[in-house]
Amino acid sequence: MNLSKKPLVPRKIVNVQGKLHYNESSQAWNKLKFKKELLNEFPQLKQKMSHFVYEMQYFRDPKDFEELLLRLKKGVVGLPVLMWIWEE
């Protein structure tokens, strides 16, 4: 994780649920739509001239995730956004 990036930090806990949709025009699962609750918490995401990047990590087992948690406790990395993907 690159520490030169400035993480967005919420003022409160944000808990939203949504769905993943297939985009017919691009024939891909390539769009993530943010819910209103998330956009209200981070209004800078609405600014069209701003640029944001993301990093996604998907751990294969709890041990690897625990290593990240230890780094979080030491302040080595910023707080992540947790996202669970469920099949309906």
Please give the mean pLDDT across all residues of the chain: 82
- What are the pLDDT digits (tens) for 18-36? 777 777 887 877 777 888 9
Q: What is the pTM of this model?
A: 0.62
- What are the pLDDT digits (tens) for 36-49? 998 899 888 888 88
**How far apart (Å, rounded) are the C-alpha atoms in residues 23 and 63?**
35
Burial group, residue 39, by CB count within 10 angstroms (0-12, 13-18, 19+)? middle
